[in-house]
Structure 1
Amino acid sequence: MREPTDRPGLPTVFHERRTYRRRRVMDAARLAPVLALVLWSLPLLWPQTGEDTVSSATALIYIFVVWAGIIVLTWGLSRLLAEEVDDPPDTDT
């Protein structure tokens, strides 16, 4: 065992794997709207004039693909969170 002077501060807290995984999925669910906003804002940066102009059809396809991808992402995250809720807690009786 280490001496108390080896490492100042609070001891490291280890979370149960299930709790840690659930918190990371919750973090991902919180970031999904931000990701959607960033991805939907990208067409605003595309050139509107000149040789590198992106057509409206390409922009609409991109927006649709991002929209569908966010739907699939949030569906998957909600399924993962629902699995955690459906599992009964371990109790010793």
Structure 2
Amino acid sequence: MSLPSDRPIFLERAAYRRRRLQDAARLLPIVTILAMLLPIWLLPVLLSGAAGMVIVFSIWLVVIVISAALHVRLGRAAREAAADEL
């Protein structure tokens, strides 16, 4: 049986949110690949022309916006964590 440690069992709210944001950033490439390939596999006729290019670039644009938002939030969380340590 292990002895109880002095560390708290639960993470503070800011650390928990920062870790979830990091998880989201790690999953974004996988979700992006699925979002790009699923329409091509399921509806190849729809995506064979100009409409397909619009859909693909729309997905690409959404991924860029989500990535930028995650970057901003992670940067803010890192600055807050650094300020809390001081």
Q: With the length of structure 1 as denominator, give the TM-score of the two structures.
A: 0.73
Aligned to 2:84: 89
Identity over aligned pairs, percent? 31
Opposite residue 62 of structure 2, the aligned amino acid is G
Residue 43 (structure 1) shift: 2.9
**Aligned CA distance change for structure 1 residues 18 and 66 (closer, same or farther; 3 Å):** same
Residue 47 (structure 1) shift: 4.0
Q: Provide structure 2 residue ranges, at least 5 long, that are not aligned to the other structure.
A: none
Bigger CA radius of gyration:
1
Higher relative contact order (CA 8 A, sep 6+): 2
CA-based RMSD of the aligned residues comes to: 2.0
Q: Deviations over 1:14-73 (max 9, x none)?
A: 11000000000000000000011001102322344xxxx315111111101100000000
Q: Determine which structure has the larger helix proportion and give its number.
A: 2
**Aligned CA distance change for structure 1 residues 29 and 47 (closer, same or farther; 3 Å):** closer
Aligned to 1:34: 30
Q: Provide structure 1 residue ranges, at least 5 long, that are not aligned to the other structure.
A: 1-9
Opposite residue 84 of structure 2, the aligned amino acid is P
Rounded Cα–Cα distance in structure 1 between residues aligned with 2:14 and 2:59: 30
Task: Give the count of matched residue pairs.
Answer: 77
Q: With the length of structure 2 as denominator, give the TM-score of the two structures.
A: 0.78
